[in-house]
Amino acid sequence: MTEENQDGEAPKEEVFSTTMRIDITPHLKEQLASTFAPGPAQTRRTGRVTIKIPKKAGETSELGSPDFQEILQNVYDATLITDLNGRIASVNPRAIQFFRSERADLVGHPIVELISGAGDDLVPTIRKNLENDRYTLIQAYCLRSDGTIFPAEISANHLHISGHDYLSFFIRDISWRKEAEERLRTGYTAIQNSGDGIAIADLDGTISFCNPAMTSLWGDPDAGQMTGRNLRDFLADQEKADEILQNVTAQHTWVGELEMKRSDGATFYAQGSVAPNVNADDELTGMVLSVLDITNLKQAQHQLECFAQELQEKNNLLESDQNMAREIQQAFLPREHPVFPRGAKPEDSILQVGHLYYPSGAVGGDFFDMLVLSDSQAGLFISDVAGHGMRAALVVATIRGLMEELAPIAGDPAAFLTQMNRAYTGIFSQTEQLTFTTAFYLVLDLKTGRMQYTTAGHPFPFHLRRSAASVSMLPAGEGGKGPALGLFDNAVYGSQTGTLQPGEVLLLYTDGLSEAEGPERQLFEDHQMMVSLQKLLALKPGELLNELVAEARRFKGTEDFEDDVCLLAVELAKLLPEA
């Protein structure tokens, strides 16, 4: 800046400038690396703002004409005028504000004291540069009187005033610009190192920028070769491109799955997000595309779908097998009960029978059967395989086959179970897992009411005496009790005898009913079963079983049973007359 040219020469046209960066001294590096106070926050304004700072009363203009001082005092930047050695001769009010000092604290001091990291060679260097350049630009940090610093851009010029040469330093606080640059740098670094592919395109889809992840996804390591190309070149579905453009034009963000093409024509799948790109005036200028390669995820998803379909097919086959097994198992159970004497109507039979069977799954491990041993003898059999499902159902099928083989000795309960255990153990001892079954077998003489029975670890039946209004279990007696089938191949079972009077009922059951648990894990057989049977004494066998199951469900508080439930109730209506 010059006020006058005493030599009368026309000013030279100068188009070059020198830009300098002041290295920060070591003792200030720690301060610069830490958080520093950039000074009072200033309200950001848009447009052109004119600031006029009036001169304080009593102040005199030390340099230049009043017009020059008027300009100096109202310059927006902090302005310091020094002699050629860099000692401050004059400052404007803006400099006083910037450095938070009084005028007297600045005037007379070297300018280098205000510039962090500046040495004694700064002013000579500036003067040397100004011999060829109109001004010298310096980027540095300036020091305030309170010890804080601020980033600044300093323009150093040669100044000729009143016949003397000076240096002028115009200092601009660039804190906002530095913060913006840092945000831009951080954002750019984040974009460049993002694992997601990011591209910027105009409203026609022409690419102006893409980060390394995007170039890698598209199979082209040179980002420069990607710019200028159109996003449509990389979309397998052009209709999807139209859909995206419609959303962006309406300033809506589009999110969805994309099938994209690499530069070699191969396709990959990506989760994409396309957002409108607007300028500072909120005008739509293009779009920002962000994609994440989900090809592996899609392949895994496809594989899972194949596995799910395969599993569904296997489940359907298993379900079909279970349905067939259920039908076969149901065929094992008696559909019609034998009548005595032969040819009698069911309602006139000496034996009135009721049964219920609730498997806990598609098939179960409980089983019962009634054998006609002669015109005056009936055999009652019930069993419970340890476990559930198909494995238990296969054991039931084996037991059903063994019963047919042992039919010739079925009139002797002890021999019947002894031989069944021997055959059973011979079969299932070859399996890796122990498989045992509890069973009870009773032979009833319909002419005398005499019972002969034995058990293989199975609960004894309940004996319901209506005439005595009593409910009790059949006594085990001596030798009437043995181990479960499959535990010991040499087990020998004995038998016990008793009498069933006309009008009395035998209730054979499995532990799925007796061990049903109440809300507090109490067992039905311990707290309620005898009471319920006492209450249901007068009912016929079929009705008795239905009500007993209902009582158990009320006791449990739920409809389902955790285990298979099998019940067989047999009433001896009267004795069979002697022939």
Cis peptide leading into residue 341 (ω within 30°): yes
Verify that 199 and 167 share a domain, yes or no.
no
For 171-191, b where at least 16 C-beta lie within 10 A, e where not — what string? bebebeebeeeeeeeeeeeeb
Q: What is the pLDDT of residues 513-555, one digit of tens each?
A: 888 887 888 888 877 888 899 999 999 999 999 999 998 888 8
Tell me the C-alpha distance between 172 and 78, whole Å. Answer: 6
56: pLDDT strictly greater than 50: no
User: Considering its fold, how many domains does the chain have in total?
Assistant: 3
62 confidence band (pLDDT: 50, 70, 90): low
Verify that 340 and 286 share a domain, yes or no.
no
Verify that 277 and 343 share a domain, yes or no.
no
CATH number of 200's domain: 3.30.450.20
Higher pLDDT, 367 or 224: 367
Whether the Cβ atoms of residue 135 and residue 148 lie closer than 8 Å to each other: no
Tell me the C-alpha distance between 66 and 68, whole Å. Answer: 5
Q: What is the pLDDT of residue 362?
A: 75
Q: What is the DSSP letter of 233?
A: G
Q: Residue 336: what residue type?
A: E
Tell me the C-alpha distance between 292 and 198, whole Å. Answer: 9
Contacts of 78 (CB under 8 A, 6+ apart): 91, 92, 94, 95, 97, 98, 99, 170, 171, 172, 173
Tell me the C-alpha distance between 1 and 80, whole Å. Answer: 12
Taking all residues of the chain, what is their mean pLDDT, rounded to a whole number?
Answer: 85
Specify the pairing of strand 18-21 against strand 135-143.
parallel
SS (H, E, C) 212-223: HHHHHHCCCCCH
Verify that 346 and 488 share a domain, yes or no.
yes
The CA R_g of the chain, rounded to the nearest whole Å, is 52
Is residue 301 domain-resident?
Answer: no
State residue 19 phi and psi, 5-degree precision.
-110, 130
Spatial CA neighbour of 453 closest among 506, 388, 395, 520: 506
Q: What is the pLDDT of residues 152-166, one digit of tens each?
A: 999 999 998 888 999
Is residue 567 domain-resident?
Answer: yes
Verify that 276 and 379 share a domain, yes or no.
no
State residue 252 phi and psi, 5-degree precision.
-115, 145
Averaged pLDDT for residues 30-45 = 45
Q: What is the pLDDT of residues 364-374, one digit of tens each?
A: 889 999 999 99
Contacts of 213 (CB under 8 A, 6+ apart): 194, 195, 196, 197, 198
Verify that 362 and 431 share a domain, yes or no.
yes
Tell me the C-alpha distance between 88 and 79, whole Å. Answer: 10
Q: What is the pLDDT of residue 562?
A: 81
Is residue 6 domain-resident?
Answer: no
Is residue 579 domain-resident?
Answer: no
Domain housing 87: 18-37+49-179
Is residue 311 domain-resident?
Answer: no
Verify that 114 and 174 share a domain, yes or no.
yes
Whether the Cβ atoms of residue 201 and residue 208 lie closer than 8 Å to each other: yes
57: pLDDT strictly greater than 80: no
Verify that 239 and 348 share a domain, yes or no.
no
Last residue of one domain, picked from the residues 156, 179, 202: 179
49: pLDDT strictly greater than 60: no
Whether the Cβ atoms of residue 369 and residue 403 lie closer than 8 Å to each other: yes
18: pLDDT strictly greater than 50: yes
Q: What is the pLDDT of residues 463-481, one digit of tens each?
A: 999 999 999 999 987 777 8
Whether the Cβ atoms of residue 382 and residue 509 lie closer than 8 Å to each other: yes
Last residue of one domain, picked from the residues 153, 179, 205: 179
Residue given tokens 């596995």 in the structure block: 307
State residue 171 phi and psi, 5-degree precision.
-115, 125
| DSSP bridge partners of 154 | 138, 171
Helix 389-405 with 413-428: angle, nearest 10 deg: 130
| DSSP bridge partners of 207 | 201
Contacts of 458 (CB under 8 A, 6+ apart): 382, 383, 384, 438, 439, 440, 484, 510
The region of weakest confidence among 16-20, 154-158, 159-163, 573-577 is 16-20
For 424-451, b where at least 16 C-beta lie within 10 A, e where not — what string? bbeebeeeeeebbbbbbbbbbbbeebeb
Averaged pLDDT for residues 219-231 = 78
Verify that 151 and 246 share a domain, yes or no.
no
The tokens for 77 are 């930047």
The tokens for 522 are 């109490």
Verify that 352 and 288 share a domain, yes or no.
no
The tokens for 304 are 């899972």
Q: What is the pLDDT of residue 21?
A: 57
Verify that 165 and 273 share a domain, yes or no.
no
Question: How many angstroms from the chain centroid is the CA of residue 440?
Answer: 52
10: pLDDT strictly greater than 50: no
Averaged pLDDT for residues 44-53 = 36
Is residue 481 domain-resident?
Answer: yes
Is residue 314 domain-resident?
Answer: no
Q: What is the pLDDT of residues 414-426, one digit of tens each?
A: 999 999 999 999 9
Averaged pLDDT for residues 448-462 = 95
250: pLDDT strictly greater than 80: yes
Spatial CA neighbour of 271 closest among 298, 248, 251, 253: 298
> How many residues are present in the chain?
579
Q: In what order do the strands lie in the sheet with 149-161?
A: 18-21, 135-143, 149-161, 164-173, 78-82, 88-91
Tell me the C-alpha distance between 79 and 148, whole Å. Answer: 19
CATH number of 507's domain: 3.60.40.10
Q: What is the pLDDT of residue 387?
A: 81
Q: What is the pLDDT of residues 392-407, one digit of tens each?
A: 888 999 999 999 999 9
Task: Tell me if residue 195 falls in helix, strand or coil.
Answer: coil
Tell me the C-alpha distance between 468 and 44, whole Å. Answer: 104
39 confidence band (pLDDT: 50, 70, 90): very low
The region of weakest confidence among 148-152, 176-180, 486-490, 575-579 is 575-579
Last residue of one domain, picked from the residues 238, 271, 293: 293
Verify that 174 and 201 share a domain, yes or no.
no
Is residue 26 domain-resident?
Answer: yes
Tell me the C-alpha distance between 198 and 194, whole Å. Answer: 8
Q: What is the pLDDT of residues 115-143, one digit of tens each?
A: 999 999 999 999 999 999 888 999 999 99
